[in-house]
A and B are shown apart, each in its own frame.
Chain A
């Protein structure tokens, strides 16, 4: 079956530009997560959605970062006025949101390079 998909797979942008990263979760998954992975760093949690609401935005590194989810499905992560330190792989994951342990299924990521 279809897994989590993300687009674009690669994005090169100039410092100061805005970027939008898209995540299509597995159909029926109610929970959606965004992470950032930098070289040598672990997965840094950014934000979590349950349905369309985001009960936990604690990981967003600054007010330049925002995310939304519509229709309980697709999510968009927006980074405004990009900085070079925003360069990383941005990973999206989804889970069924049920059960005690909720396995997260990851997409392939978007590799963002800010020049």
Chain B
């Protein structure tokens, strides 16, 4: 079993849709939960991170963590074509980060 599993996609949605991206992880020692966004031919950039179970909002983005079920989600409201990218979940502790394979999202105008 991989340490972090993620729906591979690709996922195509119309502009304005609500997008739900999900990951599961296996190691209960993981303390941080992150979402990175990666545009084509670019490096990943941190979108959001959280330490605890529950929701964290930042504009149109909401990160949700359920430690009891080891489940991580990212919701994007009012999706825009500029949100088209690959979204990678990541988790870890200290200097140890483990990344999921990423979900490729296309938001169609």
Q: Are A56 and B101 in contact (CB under 8 A)?
A: no
> Which single member of B32, B45, B95, B99 contacts A42 (CB below 8 Å)?
B99
Do B8 and A104 touch (CB < 8 A)? Answer: no
Minimum CB distance partner of B102 in chain A? A42
**Bound state CA distance, A112 and B35, in angstroms?**
26
Given A101-B49, A102-B95, A103-B49, does the pair A42, B43 have CB atoms closer than 8 Å?
A: no
A42-B99, A56-B95, A104-B97 known; A93 and B43 CB under 8 Å? yes
Q: CB-CB < 8 A to B44: which residues of A?
A: 43, 91, 106
- Indicate the member of B6, B44, B88, B96 with the most A CB atoms within 10 Å: B44
Complex: chain A residue closest to B43, CB-CB: A106
- Residue pair B100, A91 in contact (C-beta under 8 Å): no
Question: In the complex, what distance in Å separates the CA atom of A33 from the CA atom of B97?
Answer: 10
- Given A106-B43, A108-B41: A42 and B88 interface contact (C-beta under 8 Å): yes
Nearest chain A CB to B87 CB, angstrom units: 12
B contact residues around A109 at 8 Å (CB): 41-43
CB-CB under 8 A from B100, the residues of chain A are: 42
Interchain CA distance A109-B39 in the complex, whole Å:
12
CB contacts (< 8 Å) of A43 on chain B: these are 44, 88, 90, 99
Residue from the set A4, A33, A106 with the largest chain B CB neighbour count within 10 Å: A106
Task: Give the residues in chain B near A33, CB-CB below 8 Å.
Answer: 97
Residues of B within 8 A of A103 (CB): 46, 49
Q: How far is the CA of A48 from the CA of B97 in the complex (A)?
A: 11
Shortest CB distance A22–B (Å): 15
Interface set of B (CB-CB < 8 Å, partner A):
4, 6, 8, 32, 41-46, 49, 51, 88, 90, 95-102
**Interface set of A (CB-CB < 8 Å, partner B):** 4, 31, 33, 35, 40-43, 45, 48, 50, 56, 91, 93, 101-109
Which 7 A-B pairs give the minimum distances between C-beta atoms?
A: A106-B43, A43-B99, A42-B101, A42-B99, A106-B44, A108-B43, A42-B100
